[in-house]
Structure 1
Amino acid sequence: MPETFDTSTAVIIVLGLMVLLSAWLPLVVRRLPLSLPIVAVCIGIVAPHGPWMDRISGFLLQQRVLEQLVEFVVLVALMGAGLRIERPFGWRRWQATWRLLGLAMPLTIAAMAVLCWAALGLTWAAALLIAAALAPTDPVLACDVQVGAPGEEEGGEVRFALTSEAGLNDGLAFPFVVLAMTLATTPLQAVWGHWLAVDVVWKIGCSAVIGCAAGRVFGWLTFRLPRLKLSRTGDGLVAVGVTLISYGVTELASGYGFVAVFIAAVTLRATDRSNDFHGAMAEFSEQIERVLMVLVLLVFGVAIGTGALARLGWADALVGGALLLVIRPLCGWVSLIGTPLPPAARGLMAFFGIRGLGTFYYMAYALGRAEFPDAGRLWAIASFTVLASILLHGVAATPLMAWADRRRAAARAS
């Protein structure tokens, strides 16, 4: 037994606990109206706080460290989500996805920004930052409502739409975060044209092209390269390499790496849909994602238990609740009007606007690079909304998706 119990020893023990919890807890909550994120956050809230725990959580909660950690978790989740999608790209086949991205998300950002400005007295820049950071649905925490693993049944239009939406909207929210950062120092009329041309059109287009090209190149290397194709390794670690290279190249081209990674994953999957290696890559990605997600949410729970919501007022909480219960469901429902989807499917797609780790990334990214007044309050609003989403959607996911699956099975049998 060492004389001093230093931080490195504590980190080793905590990491071991993370791995065991991420493997064991899904068995416990599988048939319960609970989720792994709920349990992880609750453990963090009630965990005993000592000097070593304070040092670990303090280190991970530094804005730059938190940003990079969450960035990696989201990237791995995006790759895993893309590899699970069986359906080829197409306007009609992805109709619900395009509507959720092109209509529901901008409407949600606009409504949330106006509400934060009018009800909370935030500046337009701060209101837009909160709205943009909370707008995208989360590919990490939404695993209970997403499609199955490669080779399994897709799971219906609801699961497909929620998976593809979460895969793309993390990156598509980035232009609005950039606009909020710019508005913190510059009037809108001075940046509008540049923002639209560069941050929206060029960067999104560049990201899509690079993602598609990366998916094709890695698809050839993985499934087509004679005698040396990567699929022969059977090693799911390939997915992490594809993720990091696709992301890095896109960032070097000043694009949005989140968009490129998801498109690369979907394109890679399309190269040889029947190959079992997709399952190995998706499974490895999911394991890494789950371990790191538990770590982040435990630290999030520790932060909640030590006063992260101290700056939260009643009006702030009501606005966060309005996003989850009114704004997102209403904007999602409106965006899907005119589709052939039944009302129940539209309602589920609109309701499951799950907020999560992407919000932490955007908040850390923006607040670390631009000056916003009362940043502590902004963090409190974002943290409360994510916490409420973890509880609300985590409890609702199992029974509602089971109900949706039964309805879909009955409709197919009739």
Structure 2
Amino acid sequence: MISAFFDANVRDIFYLISGFSFLAIALLPFLRSIKMFSAPIFFILTGIALAFTPILLPLTDIATNDFHARFLEYFTEFVVIISLAGAGLAIDRRIGVYRWQHTLLLLFFVMPLMILVLIMVGHYALGLALPSAFLLAAVLSPTDPVLARSVQVEGPNKGEENDVNVSLTSEAGLNDGLAFPFVYLAIAMVAYIAASPAEQLDIIFNWIGYNLIYKVVGGTAIGTLTGYLLTRFVFWHEDQYRSVSYNAGLILLASVLLTYGLAEMLQTYGFLAVFITALVARYRADVTKHVGIIRRSHLFSDQIEKICLALFLLWMGYYFYTHIYDYLQISEVLFSFALILIIRPVIAYIGLLFTKGSKLDRFAISFLGIRGIGSIYYLIYAQNHAEFSGIDALWRITVLAVLLSIFIHGATAHSIMTKICNKKN
């Protein structure tokens, strides 16, 4: 009977693991009183524990199996866009240069400088080829909108927002779109190396004009326009038919998929478009007094995100132990620790040195730059679109960096945010 249990097929394992994950999501909030504990840590440890059982989790052969790699790309893509929508809906603070000064510096000073530093470290210290070093930098520079939920604003109309929460939420929402040009730069470099001088010039101009300018401007424009049109349509129908608000979850899902699909179809950045659509919807909800449907939509996005995150973290814990752990190099471990504990905190703190807020605020924003599912998505996307040398090393470093971020930030975020709240009170 025991052997028959462990001969279960993929379908049976999916139902079993999904049921366990959903039950854990419901019960874990009661364990928040435990210090240095977070839900992501629990799911990662559970995934690692599954590696010691005869149960074989599916979709782990992402290096050689095209279906596994494509499934991981599409799954992580979906989780990120749902999370971006939730992050955009959650921010009450209006956009402005002074009000968003931390965010702007994190995006346009800290992230480019981090990319430059990580390229140099990846190439000269880790021995990666330049395209691979560029990809590593693009993958690990942006913060994550999914795993950063513990340090983000709580939701629409949840009370006064502090600078730390707003900065980390808006940074995670915007840099997932603004990091994509650098992923494309890494992909372009693969072709650049083998190209003729004339072709190399075309590659450079194509990246600047198409990947950097057109896609960013286009994603911003599409996000703004669809946000305005969708809210105008939905809010008008809510005024006419109150039952519309009961379908807030479906409306959110429809809006996200429509925006992302349109942006991607027009070859712009869908991540950027989705986040901006959500920001526009949040702003117009205040103007037109329709905050209720925004709150319900945000709650729905939060539930979907938690479900997907639990399944992903179980998979990643299992994948880490079965495919990463035994092959880690000392240099890769040191690099991952340096990224989380030194490189991001130091560069970000320097960038925020003369901004508003206390030293504790600036430290929190600098230190709590969480890496997560977005990094995994960028890496699998690049792997599926170009041939990178040393891709196994990139996977080891990225997965380890995400895990370290989960454990280090998960164990410290609550106490740091509590100190900030107590100080303000």
TM tier, shorter chain? Answer: over 0.9
CA deviation map 1:160-215 (0-9, x unaligned): 00000001111110000000011012147653332122111111010001001111
1:156/1:6 CA distance change after superposition, 3 Å: same
Residue equivalent to 2:248:
235
Q: Distance in 1 between matches of 2:20 and 2:114?
A: 38
Look up the equivalent residue of 1:390 and give its one-letter code.
I
| Contact 1:243 1:261 (C-alpha < 8 Å) held by counterparts | yes
| Contact 1:154 1:160 (C-alpha < 8 Å) held by counterparts | no
- Structure 2: give runs of 5+ residues left out of the alignment: 194-199
How far did 1:318 drift?
A: 1.2
CA deviation map 1:24-58 (0-9, x unaligned): 12321355321111111010001155665343655
Look up the equivalent residue of 1:138 and give its one-letter code.
D
Residue equivalent to 1:174:
180
Which structure 2 residues correspond to residues 219-258 of structure 1 after superposition, within 5 A? 219-225=231-237, 227-228=240-241, 231-258=244-271
Moved more, 301-310 or 32-41: 301-310
Which structure 2 residues correspond to residues 13-412 of structure 1 after superposition, within 5 A? 13-47=16-50, 53-55=56-58, 57-58=60-61, 62-187=68-193, 191-225=203-237, 227-228=240-241, 231-273=244-286, 274=289, 275-409=291-425
1:196/1:15 CA distance change after superposition, 3 Å: same
Q: Distance in 2 between matches of 1:368 and 1:310?
A: 24
| Contact 2:13 2:57 (C-alpha < 8 Å) held by counterparts | no
How far did 1:12 drift?
A: 1.5
1:56/1:252 CA distance change after superposition, 3 Å: closer
| Contact 1:34 1:398 (C-alpha < 8 Å) held by counterparts | no
1:48/1:199 CA distance change after superposition, 3 Å: closer
Q: Distance in 1 between matches of 2:15 and 2:212?
A: 43
How far did 1:150 drift?
A: 1.5
Moved more, 309-318 or 263-272: 309-318
Look up the equivalent residue of 2:362 and give its one-letter code.
R
1:154/1:170 CA distance change after superposition, 3 Å: farther
Look up the equivalent residue of 2:116 and give its one-letter code.
A
Q: Distance in 2 between matches of 1:112 and 1:106?
A: 10
The structure whose residues are more often helix, as a share, is 2
Q: Distance in 1 between matches of 2:179 and 2:12?
A: 39
CA deviation map 1:105-162 (0-9, x unaligned): 1111110111111101111110010110011101111111110121211430000000
Q: Normalising to structure 1: TM-score of the pair?
A: 0.94
Look up the equivalent residue of 2:74 and give its one-letter code.
Q
**How many residues are paired up?**
409
CA deviation map 1:39-91 (0-9, x unaligned): 11010001155665343655899221111111111111111111101112222
| Contact 2:146 2:372 (C-alpha < 8 Å) held by counterparts | yes
1:268/1:95 CA distance change after superposition, 3 Å: same
CA RMSD across the alignment: 2.1
1:231/1:297 CA distance change after superposition, 3 Å: same
How far did 1:224 drift?
A: 2.6
Q: Distance in 2 between matches of 1:355 and 1:307?
A: 20
| Contact 1:108 1:328 (C-alpha < 8 Å) held by counterparts | yes
Look up the equivalent residue of 1:161 and give its one-letter code.
S
Moved more, 16-25 or 71-80: 16-25
Look up the equivalent residue of 1:185 and give its one-letter code.
A
Instruction: Say if 2:7 is the partner of 1:7.
Output: no
Residue equivalent to 1:412:
none
Q: Normalising to structure 2: TM-score of the pair?
A: 0.91
- Structure 1: give runs of 5+ residues left out of the alignment: 410-414
Q: Distance in 1 between matches of 2:369 and 2:259?
A: 27
How far did 1:277 drift?
A: 1.4
| Contact 2:51 2:321 (C-alpha < 8 Å) held by counterparts | no
Moved more, 227-236 or 314-323: 227-236
How far did 1:341 drift?
A: 2.2
1:162/1:263 CA distance change after superposition, 3 Å: same
| Contact 1:18 1:295 (C-alpha < 8 Å) held by counterparts | yes
Indicate the SS of the match to 2:116. Answer: helix
Q: Distance in 2 between matches of 1:230 and 1:354?
A: 39
| Contact 1:33 1:395 (C-alpha < 8 Å) held by counterparts | yes
| Contact 1:223 1:230 (C-alpha < 8 Å) held by counterparts | no
Q: Distance in 1 between matches of 2:270 and 2:393?
A: 29
Q: Distance in 1 between matches of 2:51 and 2:339?
A: 32
Q: Distance in 2 between matches of 1:227 and 1:259?
A: 31
Identity %: 35
How far did 1:233 drift?
A: 3.1
Q: Distance in 2 between matches of 1:31 and 1:284?
A: 27
Look up the equivalent residue of 1:46 and give its one-letter code.
A
| Contact 2:93 2:161 (C-alpha < 8 Å) held by counterparts | no
